[in-house]
């Protein structure tokens, strides 16, 4: 049996990215109910917000789900305490190494699946007890590494014995089939799941993704060591100009603060941070999660020439 389906307890080896603000219980429950693994994105939110989302999740689904712990958040310790106390089945992590929290999460019974952008961190986290690894290429949206999915995934597959889930640049069944060929046993999609009816992001954010082409998801913040991919707009132009002038970390962080919320809640597509991956160019519609999952599975199976859930 496919090790990712077995580990997650899902019908399909398809995971929804735990995107800050965007991945609320409503989206995550829709994904879990459609046979994937829905993930609540904790982002910078406090522990009590995450607790509320976990409770809502349990009202909306009896299927397995996860929480993404964003390791740069000031609330990370509280969030870890909440997911352990609530015995959340799966925890993914992002934007750092979950090493310091590994023991607490494992002893709380959580399956821990870190997102990594390098082989070296994948190896280290496997030694620390990671149950699987999400290898995320730099085509992804949000905070990213430097290596592309096509190159990163097989190198991580060769380096670790635990199952690998591929992420970054995948938005349809062709992409899913392709990364399975690279040795991944599961996939994670983020940007594609923003463009669903259940996602609570502002419609302007969703429509900006639908309208985007292949060169519109650009990287800002590399000069301060925090590269973030988002759709090109007034904000990314201002950040790029400041970076060219050699602005300090504080100046750039001040400019970026609160911008994801502005995009998500107000639909401000000029001044908000429209985090999205390069797969935005592949996304042509906003549709119900159930229909999307059915189309993803159908197209993957057509590419593979076999069912995605019978192995
Ligand atoms: O975490 C992400 N994507 C994110 S987090 C995020 S929250 C945010 N909000 C506002 C501004 C900036 C960020 C938005 N998008 N993806 C998973 C991911 N993790 N990609 C790359 C990494 C990563 C990078 C370095 C993981 C580990 C790492 O390790 C460094 C180390 O300590 O070795």
Which protein residue's CA is at the shortest distance from atom 30 of ligand 1?
96
Could you tell me the sign of the dihedral formed by the alpha carbons of 73, 85, 51, 129, in that order?
positive
The span from the CA of 197 to the CA of 31, in Å, is 12
The span from the CA of 179 to the CA of 145, in Å, is 18
Domain ranges for the chain: 3-198+288-304, 203-279
Cβ–ligand 1 distance for 69 under 6 Å, the answer: no
Which protein residue's CA is at the shortest distance from atom 5 of ligand 1?
143
The span from the CA of 228 to the CA of 218, in Å, is 8
Collapsed DSSP state (helix, strand, coil) of residue 74: coil
Cβ–ligand 1 distance for 94 under 6 Å, the answer: yes
Cβ–ligand 1 distance for 98 under 6 Å, the answer: no
Cβ–ligand 1 distance for 70 under 6 Å, the answer: yes
pLDDT (0 to 100) of residue 29: 98
pLDDT (0 to 100) of residue 159: 98
Among 143, 148, 219, 236, say which to mutate for ligand 1: greatest number of ligand atoms within 8 Å of CB: 143
Ligand 1, atom nearest to 43 Cα: 7
* pLDDT one digit per residue (tens) for the chain, 311 residues: 899 999 999 999 999 999 999 999 999 999 999 999 999 999 999 999 999 999 999 999 999 999 999 999 999 999 999 999 999 999 999 999 999 999 999 999 999 999 999 999 999 999 999 999 999 999 999 999 999 999 999 999 999 999 999 999 999 999 999 999 999 999 999 999 999 999 999 999 999 999 999 999 999 999 888 999 999 999 999 999 999 999 999 999 899 889 999 999 999 999 999 999 999 999 999 999 999 999 999 999 999 999 988 88
Domain spanning 3-198+288-304: CATH 3.20.20.70: yes
Which protein residue's CA is at the shortest distance from atom 12 of ligand 1?
143
Cβ–ligand 1 distance for 137 under 6 Å, the answer: no
pTM as predicted: 0.98
Cβ–ligand 1 distance for 112 under 6 Å, the answer: no
Q: What spacing in Å lies between the alpha carbon of 270 and ligand 1's midpoint?
A: 24
Alpha helices, DSSP H, located in 195-257: 203-211, 234-244, 249-256
Give the tokens for residue 2.
């496919």
Among 95, 124, 262, say which to mutate for ligand 1: greatest number of ligand atoms within 8 Å of CB: 95
Among 43, 74, 94, 139, say which to mutate for ligand 1: greatest number of ligand atoms within 8 Å of CB: 94
CA of 83: how far to CAs of 59, 77, 102, 112, 142, in Å?
17, 10, 12, 11, 23
Cβ–ligand 1 distance for 116 under 6 Å, the answer: yes
Q: What spacing in Å lies between the alpha carbon of 191 and ligand 1's midpoint?
A: 15
Q: What spacing in Å lies between the alpha carbon of 122 and ligand 1's midpoint?
A: 14
pLDDT (0 to 100) of residue 62: 98
- Tokens 């929480």 sit at which residue? 67
Residue from 280, 279, 276, 296 nearest 169 by CA? 279
Collapsed DSSP state (helix, strand, coil) of residue 215: coil
Ligand 1, atom nearest to 97 Cα: 32
């Amino acid at each position: 049996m496919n090790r990712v389906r077995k580990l997650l307890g899902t019908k399909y080896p398809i995971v929804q990215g735990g995107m800050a603000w965007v991945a609320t219980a409503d989206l995550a429950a829709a994904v879990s109910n459609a046979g994937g693994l829905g993930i609540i994105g904790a982002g910078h939110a406090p522990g009590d917000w995450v607790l509320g989302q976990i409770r809502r999740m349990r009202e909306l689904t009896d299927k397995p789900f996860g929480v993404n712990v964003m390791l740069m958040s000031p609330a990370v310790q509280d969030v870890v305490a909440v997911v352990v106390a609530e015995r959340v089945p799966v925890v993914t992590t992002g934007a750092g190494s979950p090493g310091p929290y590994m023991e607490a999460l494992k002893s709380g019974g959580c399956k821990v699946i870190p997102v990594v952008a390098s082989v070296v961190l994948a190896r280290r986290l496997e030694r620390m007890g990671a149950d699987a690894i999400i290898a995320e290429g730099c085509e992804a949206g949000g905070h990213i590494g430097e290596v592309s999915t096509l190159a990163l995934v097989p190198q991580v597959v060769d380096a670790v014995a635990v199952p690998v889930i591929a992420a970054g640049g995948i938005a349809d069944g062709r992409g899913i089939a392709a990364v399975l060929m690279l040795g991944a046993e599961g996939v994670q999609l983020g940007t594609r799941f923003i463009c669903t009816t259940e996602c609570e992001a502002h419609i302007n954010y969703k429509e900006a993704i639908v309208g985007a082409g292949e060169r519109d998801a650009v990287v800002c913040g590399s000069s301060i060591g925090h590269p973030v991919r988002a759709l090109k707009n007034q904000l990314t132009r201002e950040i790029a100009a400041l970076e060219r002038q050699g602005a300090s970390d504080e100046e750039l962080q001040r400019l970026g603060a609160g911008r994801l919320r502005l995009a998500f809640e107000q639909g401000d597509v000029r001044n908000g941070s429209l985090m999205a991956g390069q797969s935005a160019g592949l996304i042509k519609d906003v549709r119900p999660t159930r229909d999307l999952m059915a189309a993803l599975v159908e197209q993957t199976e057509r590419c593979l020439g076999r069912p995605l859930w019978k192995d």
